[in-house]
Amino acid sequence: MDTDRLLRELTDFLRIPSVSTNASHNADCRAAAEWVAGELRRLGCREVQFLASDTHPVVWGVGPEVPGAPTLLIYGHYDVQPPEPLDEWTTAPFQPTVRDGKLFARGAADDKGQVFCLLKAIQAPPGRPQLNFRFLIEGEEEYGSRVLFELLRREPERTRADAVLIADMAYVAPRWPAVYTTLRGLCYAEINVRTAKSDLHSGEFGGAAPNAHEELARLLGRLKTPDGKVHVPGFYAPVKRPSKAELATWKRLPFKEAEFLKHRVQAKALTGLKSYSVLERLWALPTFEIHGITGGFTGDGAKTVIPAEATAKVSLRLVPDQKLKVVERQLAAAVRRLAPKHVQASVKFLHGADPATVKVTHPAFKLLDQAFREVVGRGTVPARAGGSIPVVPVLGKGGAPVILTGIGLPDDRLHAPNEKLDLKQLWDGIKVFRRFYELLGT
């Protein structure tokens, strides 16, 4: 492999700050889409189109026709998470830098580096694999995939394939590749409280006027108990525990709680529902997280204002059998019920996704297993994922197996400062997917 050239090409892709959630990066998202389209053209695609391009376009590609060969749909995303807080990055998020065999950049693992891997595996010698490739590379995965959802509702035939391949995940541990059987869903919302018409002077009114931040803090405290239980009526009702067999598989994984706490969470203690194992908390239980709070005065220095309004960005991760629409109703009702009468509380839903379940029994999974085994020495282990890829349930609707895998490592720091991709994983990944394409095509 011409790793120098490949690294240069990936670096060009990573340098584009395609932060989909922030409108000031619209042109960057477009540039990242153009980068993907350019690659698809180089792969000899008969069709390369920008779909639903009024926002961040979905890049659609149809590879050269190979009569009689199976069709593989490759899904990925070119958008990335916001890089903030910037001061915690050792090198700038959009200036990809190799240190110690690792490539540091926002999007290195999630998902540009992995999309790159899937595409370069097609070009790898000795020649094009005997598959009918389809590509759906979107630009709103980090923002709920709304555009792609609508597109696939109108044009479900775009997902018609013999298999769907997604590389947006990681090994469960170094040298332990995985395929994923579930993804958590997501309900992203803003909880707003208003206590007065406008901000008030804390000297004039302090002691008698309601404070929106205080009411919000209290409300958030009521929505989740200190032991990690989400206090939303009905929320846990559909949640099933994993089977004994599945729990037994997890016990055999090289997962050490102390190591997870020390090297990955980097905190003083783990939290959450302590009567469940850590992997159960991460993979099989829903969550409630606060992401940020706005309102009042947050500038430098001091302003003695009683805020009239406060908003918390929150999200709930959902597990199989929970439904986004139901959880939205449950959360809105809980907020109404838990807010005091003198507080106007409301919930605005920003985006979300149902959880996904994937059966890993289709023969294609065996071929991926074999590819990993040949290249890295171990087959895939079935695991669950704590994260979400909103569009996965829709991609599987046509009946094709959705192969959810990836070449990242657990410490890649997705969504966090200093996101990275190990170069060894990248080069191995190109070989693994190349081999998978060959096996699937024969």
CB of residue 426 to a copy of itself, shortest distance in Å: 20
CB of residue 53 to a copy of itself, shortest distance in Å: 19
CB of residue 244 to a copy of itself, shortest distance in Å: 21
Spatial contact of 408 and 425, defined as CB atoms under 8 Å apart: yes
Backbone angles phi, psi at 306, to 5 degrees: -95, 110
CB of residue 432 to a copy of itself, shortest distance in Å: 22
Q: Which is nearer to a copy of itself, 18 or 71 (CB)?
A: 18
Q: Which is nearer to a copy of itself, 142 or 162 (CB)?
A: 142
Spatial contact of 262 and 270, defined as CB atoms under 8 Å apart: no
Q: Which is nearer to a copy of itself, 313 or 323 (CB)?
A: 313
Alpha-carbon distance 221 to 135, whole Å?
44
Place of tokens 């007065």: 196
CB of residue 16 to a copy of itself, shortest distance in Å: 18
Alpha-carbon distance 161 to 151, whole Å?
17
Alpha-carbon distance 408 to 343, whole Å?
45
Q: Which is nearer to a copy of itself, 71 or 287 (CB)?
A: 287
Q: Which is nearer to a copy of itself, 159 or 287 (CB)?
A: 287
Alpha-carbon distance 354 to 350, whole Å?
14
Q: Which 8-state DSSP code applies to residue 243?
A: P
Q: What angle do CA 102, 183, 60 make, to 5 degrees?
A: 75
Backbone angles phi, psi at 21, to 5 degrees: -80, -10
Kind and range of the H or E run holding 317: strand 309-318
Comparing C-alpha atoms, which of 420, 407, 387 is closest to residue 89? 420
Comparing C-alpha atoms, which of 101, 62, 57, 99 is closest to residue 78? 57
CB of residue 178 to a copy of itself, shortest distance in Å: 14
Q: Which is nearer to a copy of itself, 38 or 410 (CB)?
A: 410
HSE, side-chain direction, 13 A CA sphere, residue 85: 4
CB proximity list for 23: less than 8 A, separation 6 or greater: none
Place of tokens 């410490």: 411
Q: Which is nearer to a copy of itself, 381 or 389 (CB)?
A: 389
Spatial contact of 346 and 234, defined as CB atoms under 8 Å apart: no
Q: Which is nearer to a copy of itself, 132 or 145 (CB)?
A: 145
Place of tokens 């477009």: 30
CB of residue 124 to a copy of itself, shortest distance in Å: 30
Q: Which is nearer to a copy of itself, 7 or 338 (CB)?
A: 338
CB of residue 79 to a copy of itself, shortest distance in Å: 11
Q: Which is nearer to a copy of itself, 158 or 281 (CB)?
A: 281
Q: Which 8-state DSSP code applies to residue 176?
A: B
Q: Which is nearer to a copy of itself, 369 or 419 (CB)?
A: 419
CB of residue 434 to a copy of itself, shortest distance in Å: 28
**Residue 156 CB neighbour total at 10 angstroms:** 12
Comparing C-alpha atoms, which of 116, 58, 204, 110 is closest to residue 411? 110
CB of residue 229 to a copy of itself, shortest distance in Å: 11
Is beta strand 289-294 parallel, antiparallel or unpaired with respect to 309-318?
Answer: antiparallel
CB of residue 352 to a copy of itself, shortest distance in Å: 10
Alpha-carbon distance 377 to 424, whole Å?
14
